[in-house]
Amino acid sequence: MSPLPYDPARLAARAAEIVAATRELAALGWTPATSSNFSMRLDAGHAAITVSGRDKGRLTEADIMVVDLEGRPVATHHRPSAETLLHTQLYARFPDLGCVLHTHSRTQTVASRLFARQGHVRLAGYELLKAFAGNRTHDMAIEVPVLPNSQDMPALAAQVERLLDAGPLWGYLIDGHGLYAWGKDMAEARRHLEAFDFLLACELELRRLQP
């Protein structure tokens, strides 16, 4: 019987998934200068998340820790990601949510700057919109919100709650910062993250070609 309030075998499995995905995303250049953070649900009350400040290109299982759904460290002296609350608020709200990914790719960062004043990026008519869970056609549009950046995580999380209240959401941008995307498991969250990055790159390219 483990004295820990979570299953250590499950933590080991989730940590391995996070490390593998993080290394791949880092190799794409999406996690510069220790940026980005990644998490997976462990159970109804706990998530595995990256330790703050770690080089995401050199991540190991030792760089993954456990938090409760209020973002407090569990059975560890490590400091969780500075943005832990933006992960745990999603696990607390959506019982079926399994994974949250946050990256700082150049495309995500440039798009967040360009569309900050508008407050959203409209993605319409792309076949790749079907990558977002539940979408069945290209013949639709989604709006990716762009939130102002802040170091006040409870304030940022409150803004995210308002977005979530307003309707279905697969992710959002933070101005000058990066992208949050999520899904029921790692594969779905990766699919959403990659679809956002590709579609944002298309929007940036279109503006270059058709100023």
Q: Within 13 Å and on the Cβ side, how many CA atoms surround 187?
A: 0
Among 17, 63, 83, 197, binds ligand L4RZE5RM (CB under 6 A): 83
Interacting residues with Zn ion between 177 and 196 (CB under 5 A): 178
Q: Is 102 annotated as a binding residue?
A: yes
29: how many CB neighbours lie within 10 A of its CB?
13
Q: Measured from the CB of residue 31, what is the shortest distance to ligand L4RZE5RM in angstroms? A: 8
By the rule CB under 6 A, 35 interacts with ligand L4RZE5RM: yes
By the rule CB under 6 A, 33 interacts with ligand L4RZE5RM: yes
Q: Measured from the CB of residue 49, what is the shortest distance to Zn ion in angstroms? A: 13
Q: Is 177 annotated as a binding residue?
A: no
31 binds, among Zn ion, ligand L4RZE5RM, none (CB under 5 to 8 A by kind): none
Contact code string over 140-179 relative to Zn ion, x by CB under 5 A: --------------------------------------x-
Q: Measured from the CB of residue 108, what is the shortest distance to Zn ion in angstroms? A: 10
- Alpha carbons 41 and 20: distance in angstroms, whole number: 16
Question: DSSP assignment of the chain, as one string?
Answer: --SSSS-HHHHHHHHHHHHHHHHHHHHTT-SGGG--EEEEEEETTEEEEEBTT--GGG--GGGEEEEETTS-B-S--PPB-TTHHHHHHHHHH-TT--EEEEE--HHHHHHHHHTTTTTEEEEES-GGGGGSTT---SS-EEEEEEEPP-S-HHHHHHHHHHHHHHS--SEEEETTTEEEEEESSHHHHHHHHHHHHHHHHHHHHHHHH--
Nearest residue to Zn ion by CB is 178
By the rule CB under 6 A, 34 interacts with ligand L4RZE5RM: yes
Q: From the annotation, which residues make up the binding site?
A: 102, 104
Q: Which residues bind ligand L4RZE5RM (CB under 6 A)?
A: 33-37, 50, 52-53, 81-83, 102
Residue list for the binding site for Zn(2+): 102, 104
- Which residue ranges make up the site for Zn ion (CB under 5 A)? 178
